């Protein structure tokens, strides 16, 4: 890990570099989106925890609360070096915004490309009491506009987190003898016992570990539907509603909600069953939407088989997914318009 110099009025940024091995990739040699998400979260956790402990006071660890929409701009492959750069861009009274960029490098040719950009939000939790959220040391901004823009982003993500939590009552149930291309045919679940290696110093799961498992389940759903090589194209906002403690059994469930001609949207839930120390009812811990694309052996985009919806709920989720897809497409066109005029 290396650090770069920062303005004296703000915290130093950090960089983490790692060689991508076969363990990090799928059978086609593309690095799993979950592997990259885990590296992004590790960088964010380091810089936010360091900042939150930069002034005298109660020691704490920064816990991931939310990841904004993340686009996978370019595939990363086995043998490349991934470099993750992170810096703090805004602080509220009890949260930290971290901006992260991911760069891949072909060490044989020296060619580099940006593969990901992400925004993460962390909250500082006391080492003495995991349920106590501490205050965040403020950062100094180069311009007043930076603070105002950061505050707008903070209020927006706060509102979206609340909306997501309100619609989190859905469950995914097994379907007997489902037909191909239906929701029930590709839906998948993974059960994982949370051990010490999954957890922070406070004994709750690293956000990166959870995201990696979610991406794995979403990838299985996409592969079952297409039966081709698939890669993560983007992840909508990931909301961490409740902490997951060591000893919990977590169920990561995924189902397809929408298909366009060349992409698939997959909804993923993480439900936690606490068994050790404090038995309680199962609760929804995390939720997100992943988007995947289907690729040929040559890495070219392939058409996606259209999802067959059978129930009213499935049709409703399909229309909601279509709305998100069109909204994202419109935002991308607005972003590209100024570039085309240059």
How many angstroms separate the CA atoms of 302 and 228, rounded? Answer: 9
Report d(CA 260, CA 262) in Å as an integer. 5
| Dihedral angle, C-alpha 170, 308, 250, 52, nearest 10 ° | -80
Residues 6 or more apart whose Cβ sits within 8 Å of residue 191: 249, 250, 251, 252
Instruction: List, by residue number, the catalytic residues.
Output: 26, 215
Q: Crossing angle for the helix pair 207-226 and 33-52, nearest 10 degrees?
A: 160
What DSSP string describes 235-297?
E--EEE-S--BTT-EEEEEEEEEEE-SS-EEEEEEEEEE--SSS----EEEEEEEEEEEEE-T
What is d(CA 67, CA 237) in angstroms, rounded to the nearest whole number?
Answer: 5
Rounded Cα distance between 159 and 210, Å, is 23
Residue with tokens 């961490």: 240
- The span from the CA of 4 to the CA of 241, in Å, is 33
Other beta carbons within 10 angstroms of residue 229's beta carbon come to 20
Quickly count: other Cβ atoms within 10 Å of residue 53's Cβ.
Answer: 18
């Amino acid at each position: 890990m290396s650090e770069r110099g920062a303005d004296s009025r703000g915290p130093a940024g950090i960089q983490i570099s790692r060689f991508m091995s076969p363990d990090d990739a799928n059978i086609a040699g593309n690095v799993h989106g979950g592997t990259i998400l885990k590296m992004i979260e590790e960088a964010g956790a380091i810089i936010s925890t360091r900042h939150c402990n930069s002034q005298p006071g109660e020691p704490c660890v920064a816990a991931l609360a939310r990841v904004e929409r993340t686009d996978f701009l370019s595939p990363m492959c086995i043998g490349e070096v991934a470099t993750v750069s992170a810096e703090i861009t805004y602080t509220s009274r009890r949260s930290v915004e971290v901006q992260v960029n991911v760069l891949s490098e072909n060490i044989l040719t020296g060619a580099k490309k940006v593969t990901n950009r992400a925004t993460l939000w962390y909250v500082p939790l006391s080492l003495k009491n995991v349920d106590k959220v501490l205050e965040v040391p403020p950062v100094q901004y180069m311009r007043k506009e930076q603070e105002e823009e950061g505050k707008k982003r903070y209020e927006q993500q706060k509102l979206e987190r609340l909306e997501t939590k309100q619609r989190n009552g859905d469950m995914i149930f097994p379907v007997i003898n489902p037909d191909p291309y239906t929701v029930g045919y590709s839906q998948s679940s993974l059960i994982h016992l949370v051990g010490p290696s999954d957890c922070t110093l406070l004994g709750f799961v690293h956000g990166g570990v959870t995201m990696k498992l979610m991406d794995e389940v979403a990838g299985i759903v996409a592969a079952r539907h297409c039966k081709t090589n698939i890669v993560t194209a983007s992840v909508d906002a990931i909301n961490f509603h409740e902490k997951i403690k060591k000893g919990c059994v977590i169920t990561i469930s995924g189902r397809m909600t929408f298909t366009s001609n060349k992409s698939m949207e997959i909804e993923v839930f993480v439900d936690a069953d606490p068994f050790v120390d404090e038995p309680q009812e199962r609760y929804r811990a995390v939720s997100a939407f992943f988007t995947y694309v289907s690729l040929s052996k040559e890495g070219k985009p392939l058409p996606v088989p259209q999802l067959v919806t059978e129930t009213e709920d499935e049709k409703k989720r399909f229309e909601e997914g279509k709305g998100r897809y069109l909204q994202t497409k419109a935002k991308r066109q607005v972003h590209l318009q100024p570039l085309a005029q240059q």
